[in-house]
Amino acid sequence: MFRKADGTTVWLRTASFTPYFKIEGHIECESNFNLDTVLRRLEHRFKPMTGICDGFCFMIGEFGDAGGVLFCIQPDMRCAVILIGQKQDARGRFPEAQENKRLVGLDEHLKTVTEGNGFKINVASIGSELSAID
């Protein structure tokens, strides 16, 4: 997680403030699983990303030049499915009418990440925030 100037922590660090929508949670898995096991399974299915997340990050969906969906994991197994690059209002917020559509889309990506990988994600929070500046 990255700390912004106002003291809040965020998942992503980018060259400019970038709004994003997220579903945060914690990975739960069998007792014989650890972070390395989860990462190996994800690396077989998704493209690893570097430099944007303080932890591990995978591209799990792309929308061409319009953005994508990321899955980020911290070493303590906290995680987030993040939608970046979609249209927000002037304050960096997602229009309320579109949040339900985004939530359904992210939920589908969340299922894609966990299906067949032997772990599940307990959702802790849902919302939008601005990235930290690099």
Q: Residues 40-69: pLDDT tens digits?
A: 989 998 999 988 888 899 998 876 666 788
More confident residue, 73 or 134: 73
The continuous run of DSSP H or E covering 15 comes out as none
User: What does the pLDDT look like over 79-120, one tens digit per residue?
Assistant: 998 888 755 555 555 555 455 555 556 777 777 787 777 888
Q: Is the dihedral of CA 36, 42, 46, 52 positive or negative?
A: negative
89 CB-near residues (< 8 Å, 6+ apart): 95
Torsion of CA 50, 55, 60, 63, to 10 degrees: -60
Domains and CATH numbers, the chain: 22-126 (3.30.310)
User: Highest mean pLDDT: which of 5-19, 71-85, 96-110?
Assistant: 71-85
Segment 22-39 mean pLDDT: 87
